[in-house]
Structures are given as C-alpha cells and as structure tokens.
C-alpha cells in the first residue's frame, strides 16, 4: 500500500485553500479489521488525508523549499463516520504560513454531512535538524510521489 490518503485535488488556491477527494473503498485492507462487519475509515487516516491536503497547501506556498512535517493536531472533532463507497472531501484553509511552519483549518465532508473538523499544525524541518541520516522525504507530508496528486482537476477526460 502506498501512503496516499488523498486521491486527487479538486481545488487549489495557492496560499489560501485546497480541496482534495478521498474515495473510501472496500479494497482497502485495513477496513476489514476496522471493524469486521462494520468497515469505517479510521479517524487517524482521515487526519492523515487532511494533513496531506493542508501540508501540500502550506508547502506550495513556500515553493516546496521546506520539508513539512505534521507537528500537532490541536483540535479535531469527529461528527460522523465514512464507509466504503463514501466520497470524502477534505477542505483546508491556510490560517498561518511562516518560516517555522504553519497551521490549517481542516474539514472532512461526505456530501452535505460533516464528518470531521479541526486544526492541523505543521513544522518545517531543515536538513540540519533531521538527524544524521538527513531529511528523509518518506517521513514527511509530501513524499515525492504524492506531489503527483497536485495535478488539480485532471480527470480521465482531461477536465
């Protein structure tokens, strides 16, 4: 499994806001354990999806010159859940973008239903702070391949 918790961006306003889609599928292995007979998308993975949406929004605002890591989730409230077949829309707004990091507000919705809402804070880590092995992009919000999902609105029909 690849660590992609968003499928595609559907809106991207540089330095302001972004929306991404996550289609929940019964093909995802973990849903068979979480929970047997009642598959629901784990909240932690929704947070990861929102962090990927918001982290790319923040990273792009600085031209991807920093390594962005999820630092803290100061607030997250889950109002309902998501099951296979549901399409989650993660909407993030950039509240704060600075040299040391930034904060986004995040919401997950399924149609008109609010699934989760909260705030996510990111920190920038420089190579010097990343330990002797250096900054390993795999640990961070945008693993190399994840940037491919930044192809906003490129559906199969090119729209």
Q: How far apart are CA 110 and CA 8, in angstroms?
A: 15
> At closest approach, how far in Å is the CB of 12 from other proteins?
24
Binding residues for other proteins, rule CB under 8 A, total 11
In the shown chain, the binding pattern of residues 66 to 95 toward other proteins, with x for contact by CB under 8 A and - for none, equals: -----xx-xx--------------------
Tally Cβ neighbours within 10 Å of residue 51: 26
Q: Please name which of 108, 92, 120, 105 lies closest in space to residue 14, comparing C-alpha atoms.
A: 92
Any contact of residue 15 with other proteins (CB under 8 A)? Answer: no
Which residue among 30, 32, 34, 62 is the active-site one?
A: 34
Hey, is 111 helix, strand or coil? coil
Q: Is 34 a catalytic residue?
A: yes
Contact range with other proteins by CB under 8 A, out of 28-36, 51-59, 86-94, 100-108: 100-108
Task: Yes or no: say if 75 and 38 are a contact pair by the CB < 8 Å rule.
Answer: no
> At closest approach, how far in Å is the CB of 129 from other proteins?
12
Any contact of residue 103 with other proteins (CB under 8 A)? Answer: yes
> At closest approach, how far in Å is the CB of 107 from other proteins?
18
Q: Which of residues 111-150 bind other proteins (CB under 8 A)?
A: 121, 123
The separation between CA 147 and the C-alpha centre of its own chain, rounded to angstroms, equals: 12
First to last CA, the chain: 28
Q: How far apart are CA 129 and CA 105, in angstroms?
A: 26
Q: Which residues are catalytic, by number?
A: 34
Q: Where on the chain is the footprint of other proteins (CB under 8 A)?
A: 71-72, 74-75, 96, 98, 100-101, 103, 121, 123
């Amino acid at each position: 499994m690849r660590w992609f918790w968003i499928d595609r961006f559907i809106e991207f306003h540089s330095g302001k806001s972004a929306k991404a889609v996550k289609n929940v599928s019964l093909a995802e292995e973990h849903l068979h354990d979480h929970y047997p007979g009642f598959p629901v998308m784990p909240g932690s993975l929704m947070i990861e999806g929102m962090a990927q949406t918001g982290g790319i929004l923040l990273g792009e605002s600085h031209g991807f010159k920093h390594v962005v890591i999820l630092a803290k989730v100061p607030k997250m409230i889950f109002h309902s859940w998501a099951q296979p077949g549901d399409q989650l829309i993660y909407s993030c707004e950039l509240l704060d973008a600075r040299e040391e990091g930034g904060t986004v507000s995040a919401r997950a919705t399924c149609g008109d239903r609010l699934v989760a809402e909260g705030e996510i804070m990111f920190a920038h880590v420089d190579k010097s702070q990343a330990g002797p092995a250096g900054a390993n992009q795999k640990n961070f919000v945008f693993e190399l391949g994840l940037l491919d999902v930044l192809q906003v609105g490129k559906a199969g029909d090119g729209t």
